[in-house]
Amino acid sequence: MNLATKIVETNIRCGECPIRHRAVCAYCEAPDLVKLDAIKSYRTYKAGETITWAGERNDMIGSVVSGVASLSRTLPDGRRQMVGLLLPSDFVGRPGRDNSPYDVVAAHEVVMCQFRKKEFENLVKSTPALEHRLLDMTLDELDSAREWMLLLGRKTAREKIASLLAIIARRNAVLERKDVVDGLQFAVPLTREAMADYLGLTIETVSRQISALKKEGIIDLIDSRHVRVPDFAILLDEAGDDSDGGMPY
């Protein structure tokens, strides 16, 4: 059984959490699940609300149930770089660390399932399988971060936009249990500013490149937040690589 299968199966079994709650659900099978259930709680954050400030002590750990959040770092003079995009099923938190150097901000209304870190870590101590799962998820995140380094360091603006759209399309399809088919329409749950911060560009360049892709018929813009892709192969080609592999986001 490969990993993807495992996630889906375990998600299906997790009755209480709405959907795709990887960090937890992957261990629905674990004997200590009952304890995990006992210490979890849900919390909703409004769009734009900061979930965690960089440097601030943070004693929650959890995962995204619905909505979109971003993880970002800021230079003293205000330049910002998003370093992670948190979509439903993504784990949030740093087991074993007291604070985070990242701002976590809700890009859309976000529902998080949270645990008090202390209790979660106690549970981890007594559940080796849970730690194994955390390691596996962290390795996925590391792969994503490195894929993103390639994008930031070496791709053109056009390729960056195409890559981002491809990633969002793929993630959306997984969440809705559809295939990524030609003609699929999906929401881009980010403002132009958030896209710029993610891609290491300015909002003007983001806007111009999206316009260009539209003019060339590579994407249809339903409105500024909804895209339809007539032919995914072409979009992937514009992304500059065949990186279908390995990316959880």
Partner DNA sequence: ACTGTTATTTGATCTCGATCAAGGCCAGAA
Partner DNA sequence: TTCTGGCCTTGATCGAGATCAAATAACAGT
Residue bearing tokens 């304890």: 35
Site for a second copy contains 122 (CB under 8 A): no
Distance CA 249, CA 27 (A): 21
User: Minimum Å distance from CB 103 to a second copy?
Assistant: 12
Structure-block tokens of residue 23: 């960090």
For residues 227 and 188, is the Cβ–Cβ distance under 8 A? yes
Q: Which is nearer to DNA, 37 or 204 (CB)?
A: 204
Contact region with a second copy (CB under 8 A), list: 34-42, 103-111, 176-184, 235-243:
235-243
Helix (H) or strand (E) holding 159: helix 157-175
User: Minimum Å distance from CB 83 to a second copy?
Assistant: 4
Residue bearing tokens 């101590």: 125
User: Which residues would be at the binding site for DNA (CB under 7 A)?
Assistant: 48, 156-158, 191-193, 200-208, 210-211, 221, 223-225
Report how far apart the first and last C-alpha atoms of the chain are (Å, whole number): 21
For residues 240 and 147, is the Cβ–Cβ distance under 8 A? no
Half-sphere CA count of 8, side-chain side, radius 13 A: 10
Please, which of residues 52-91 interact with a second copy by CB under 8 A?
71, 73, 75-77, 79-81, 83-84
For residues 70 and 107, is the Cβ–Cβ distance under 8 A? yes
What's the CA angle centered on 214, arms 211 and 218, to 5 degrees?
A: 135
User: Minimum Å distance from CB 201 to DNA?
Assistant: 4
| Residue 130, contacted partner among a second copy, DNA, none, CB below 5-8 A by kind | none
Task: State the binding string over 182-221 for a second copy (x if CB under 8 A, else -).
Answer: -----------------xx---------------------
Binding site for a second copy (CB under 8 A): 71, 73, 75-77, 79-81, 83-84, 94-97, 101-102, 128, 131-132, 134-136, 138-139, 141-143, 145-150, 152-155, 199-200, 240-242, 245-246
